[in-house]
Structure 1
Amino acid sequence: MTDPAVLDQGEKRSDRALVVNEIFGPTVQGEGPSAGRRCGFLRLGGCNLSCHWCDTPYTWDWRGVSDAGAAFDPHKELTARSIEDVLAELLAMRVPLVVVSGGEPMAQQDRLIPLLRELSVRGIAVEIETNGTVIPSDAVLGLGVRFNVSPKLNHSGDPEHRRIKPVALRKLGETPGVAFKFVCQSLADLAEVAALRDDIGLENIWIMPEGKTQQQIGDNMRTIADETVRRGWNLTTRLHILAWGDKRGV
């Protein structure tokens, strides 16, 4: 889990600052309903979970608990950036869509509001990738953001009480265009998704194979594809991995 003191770095500089890991693009959204759309990425630092297979451990793993096998240095990975600087870098990409990811970006939702507002008035769509553990504020909900919610399953390694927050998931499920995207490795994972759907009332479900290589994605896709379709759910791959491998900043 991220040390709260790390996330406070931005507040020490400015209450309008964001704790940023990286900004990159133009690229394409690699996952979910918008896969293939040209976009820019804003990746924020810090996470309240610690998935062992996380594909962005450099945003939160300062202790070496993930499968990356190494501890990352927050002083190298995170930077406090003003809203003005972040906005200028994103606008320079001339993209119709900005994806805000992490880490867990909703940990900084109040700081995000000025940026989301500026993007909205310029007609730029925004998607927020979230693990679904943070209840969105009314201020964020009023800005027309679309949420791609990825609740973590048992294979993430975190206990259920940390990774599944029904109140937050139900609130996010009421937002326009929301998609629930689950990282899956096996048929047992799909059964776990079905149980969550029934317990919480989730709709617009997308299943994505876990993997950081083309082979892993292909193997897991073949395992889950038929059953995903049989259950009436959507299937997505990870375009960025297929195109660029596990390279950062693309």
Structure 2
Amino acid sequence: MLHPIPSLRRILLVLSLALGLLAPVAATSVADAAGEPKPTTLKLSVSYGDHVGETYYVNVVVRGPDDEPVSGDVVFTGITDGNPVALSPAGVINLDAVATSNDPVAVTATYQGNSEYAGSSASAATTPLVTPYFSPDPTIAKIGPGLKLTLTLSTHAKNFVGAPMAGVPVVFTLFGPGNNVAPGPAQSDPSVVVCRAVTDASGFASCKGSGLLGSIVSILSGAWAAWDDGTLRSIGHHTKLPVIVTG
């Protein structure tokens, strides 16, 4: 004869399962879920490499879901020999190489992941032939009534292979006498912006300014210069402009 208590327990268990009051334990446990690799984000930037022979720079930063640095290796295409490169303790890799042509250099970086973090990847490329080079067109300095100078400044912008560049913002500036560098923080003497212009379809830019005759001393001891305003990722390319004085 069956004991009534165990039989009652079996009946209650069957009823509970049938009514959904109890459910089987899932195959994936909390510990298993916690053991899955965390997602990562790989940020890749490629800069410079404007033309053959110029160095381009590759920067990789890999972060976990809480913006924490991760460890492990990154494999590259487009730079290095294909062997894995280890991330620094900050989760960063910096590389550089020399462009072998005037074509874009495509770079892909793939983080290999590890037992804690999942892999991730990103791609980028250089943008060649965008740095302007300026022609030394003469500055026309005309002396008018009241010893006032009227200045006409001009230049042509071309890229490394000599193609005209349209839409280049050009700043025409008077150098200080002791300067051999483009206007900016590296200058030891003040500089004066005379006027600004943007190159047309032929790469030509021109504008006018004015000053007193006394400025001619500065013009002859220094130089007028044409340089771009940095919006084209320039590293300070400029040229000095010769001066022609007319009455």
Q: Which has the higher contact order (CA 8 A, sep 6+)?
A: 1
Structure richer in strand, relative to its length: 2
TM-score by length of structure 1 reads: 0.22
- Higher-Rg structure is 2
